[in-house]
Structure 1
Amino acid sequence: MTEPPQTVEPTPGPDDPAAAALATGGLTRGEPPAAGAPPQTPATVRRRASVAGTVVSVLLILAIVFGSRLLRDFDSALLPYAVATVFLAFGVAYRYTVWVSAPGARRLFRKGWGSFFSAANFRNAPTALPKMIATYLGFQKFLGARSHARWAAHQLVFWGCLLAAAITFPLTWGWFTFTSSTGSGPGYEMRIWGFKVIGFDALSVLGWLMFHGLDIAAVLVIAGASYFLWRRMKDRGAITGQRFAYDLMPLICLVVISVTGLLLTFSSIFLHGGGYEFLAVLHMVSVVFTLIYIPFGKFFHIVQRPAAVGMQLFKYTSRREDESVLACRRCHEPIDTAPYVENLQGTMRDLDLGFDEWAEYCPRCKRVLRGTAYLDHVKKGFK
Structure 2
Amino acid sequence: MSAELTERPACRAVPARPGAAASAPRRVPLAHWGAVRNGAVAAAALAALIVLGSRDLADFDSALVGYTFACLFMTFGVVYRYSVWLSKPPTRKYWVRGVEVLFSPRRWPRLGRPTLIVKALWSKIIAQDFILRRGLTRWIAHMLIAWGCALAAAVTFPLVFGWLHFEAGAAGAVYRVVLFGVRVSEIPVHGVVGWAIFHALVVSGFMVVPGVMLAMLRRMREGGAVAAQRFERDLLPLLLLFAVSASGLLLWVSYEWLHGYFYGALAQVHALTVIVTLVYLPFGKLFHVFQRPASVGVTFYKEAGGRGEKAVCPVTGEAFAAKLQTDDLKEVLAEVGFDYAAPTATGPAWSEISPRGRRMLIGRAHHRARGGRFS
Structure 1 271/135 Cα, relative in aligned 2: closer, same or farther at 3 Å? same
In structure 1, the residue matched to 2:250 is: 263
Distance 1:287 1:364 in 2: 52
In structure 1, the residue matched to 2:373 is: none
Aligned partner (choices 131, 149, 156) of residue 143 of structure 1 = 131
Aligned partner (choices 319, 337, 347) of residue 352 of structure 1 = 337
Question: For 1:74-102, what per-residue CA distance to the aligned partner results, in whole angstroms no more than 9, with x for missing partners?
Answer: 11111111111000111111112222222
In structure 2, the residue matched to 1:167 is: 155
In structure 2, the residue matched to 1:196 is: 183
Question: For 1:275-305, what per-residue CA distance to the aligned partner results, in whole angstroms no more than 9, with x for missing partners?
Answer: 1111111111111111111111111112222
Considering only aligned residues, what root-mean-square deviation do their CA atoms show, in Å?
3.0
Q: CA contact under 8 A between 1:144 and 1:150: conserved in structure 2?
A: yes
Structure 1 letter corresponding to 2:311: L
TM-score normalised per structure 1: 0.83
Q: CA contact under 8 A between 1:335 and 1:360: conserved in structure 2?
A: no
Distance 1:240 1:161 in 2: 28
Q: CA contact under 8 A between 2:124 and 2:295: conserved in structure 1?
A: no
Query: 1:333 Cα shift?
Result: 4.6
Moved more, 271-280 or 151-160: 151-160
Query: 1:370 Cα shift?
Result: 6.7
Task: Name the % identity.
Answer: 35
In structure 1, the residue matched to 2:344 is: none
In structure 2, the residue matched to 1:307 is: 294
Question: For 1:230-285, what per-residue CA distance to the aligned partner results, in whole angstroms no more than 9, with x for missing partners?
Answer: 11112111111111111111011111111111111111011110111111111111
Question: For 1:330-368, what per-residue CA distance to the aligned partner results, in whole angstroms no more than 9, with x for missing partners?
Answer: 555543221122222322221122237443445566577
In structure 2, the residue matched to 1:182 is: 170
TM-score normalised per structure 2: 0.84
Within 5 A, what are the aligned runs for 1:278-357? 278-320=265-307, 322=308, 324-355=309-340, 357=349
Distance 2:195 2:236 in 1: 32
Aligned partner (choices 12, 17, 25) of residue 8 of structure 2 = 17
In structure 2, the residue matched to 1:113 is: 99
Distance 1:212 1:9 in 2: 73
Q: CA contact under 8 A between 2:97 and 2:301: conserved in structure 1?
A: yes
Q: CA contact under 8 A between 1:326 and 1:360: conserved in structure 2?
A: yes
**More contact order relative to length (CA 8 Å, sep ≥ 6):** 1
Q: CA contact under 8 A between 2:208 and 2:241: conserved in structure 1?
A: yes
Q: CA contact under 8 A between 1:232 and 1:238: conserved in structure 2?
A: yes
Structure 2 letter corresponding to 1:181: G
Structure 1 366/160 Cα, relative in aligned 2: closer, same or farther at 3 Å? farther
Structure 1 332/211 Cα, relative in aligned 2: closer, same or farther at 3 Å? farther
Q: CA contact under 8 A between 1:112 and 1:308: conserved in structure 2?
A: no
Distance 1:59 1:78 in 2: 19
Matched, 1:70 2:56: yes
Between the two proteins, the alignment pairs up a number of residues equal to: 354
Structure 2 residues without counterparts, runs of 5 or longer? 19-25, 342-348, 370-375
Query: 1:58 Cα shift?
Result: 0.8
Structure 1 376/158 Cα, relative in aligned 2: closer, same or farther at 3 Å? farther
Query: 1:32 Cα shift?
Result: 6.2
Structure 1 residues without counterparts, runs of 5 or longer? 1-7, 378-383
